[in-house]
Homo-oligomer: A and B are copies of this chain.
């Protein structure tokens, strides 16, 4: 039972992680050295080494602080839920914290196996959630799909990702989201246009 967490440990970890998140957002993952994080957190350098012997773990934990709870708990009608989820995703993706974590994840995944695994889990989770939600809509008769449901993640999230990382100054209009929705298939008219 790890039931008695020393308050000092809790405090140190929190301060370091907050500093790491700030540095990640402001200057990118390369700034997450033990020294800089320790200085920013107002903490001894040795303390950072104690809790995170390898800088990679520090980056991982800092990224984990920004979670991505998208496409969870679908509601009916699925179309309205999906529209709202895509809207939220588009808006969140351009937030500095989220963008920093996203690009660091995509970038790090190319060369660091630990991050590759994280990325794969995220991608699989998103694809799976979307597939399930859409499958339920198909089952209930709300949606007549226009193609493989396994492609839905790429089709729906892809354009939002493109805007966030390649054209960050162009916001995603609601009309674009509507277009993405229509592309998934034919939706039964539910009055929400």
Footprint of B on A, CB under 8 Å? 26-28, 30, 99-100, 103-104, 106-107, 109-111, 119, 122-123, 127, 146-148, 151, 153-155, 157-163, 165-167, 175-176, 179-180, 183
Question: In the assembled complex, which residues on chain B have CB atoms less than 8 Å from the CB atom of A99?
Answer: 110
Seed contacts A103-B107, A147-B175, A151-B159; 5 additional CB < 8 Å A-B pairs: A100-B110, A106-B106, A148-B176, A154-B162, A154-B167
A111-B28, A147-B175, A179-B146 known; A162-B157 Cβ under 8 A: yes
- Minimum CB–CB distance from A177 to chain B (whole Å) comes to 11
- Residues in chain B near residue A161, CB distance under 8 A: 158, 161-162, 165-166
Chain B residues, CB < 8 A from A157: 162
Inside 8 A of A111's CB, which chain B residues have their CB? 26-28
Q: Which residues of B contact A155 (CB under 8 A)?
A: 159, 176, 179-180
Contacts of A165 in B (CB 8 A): 106, 109, 161
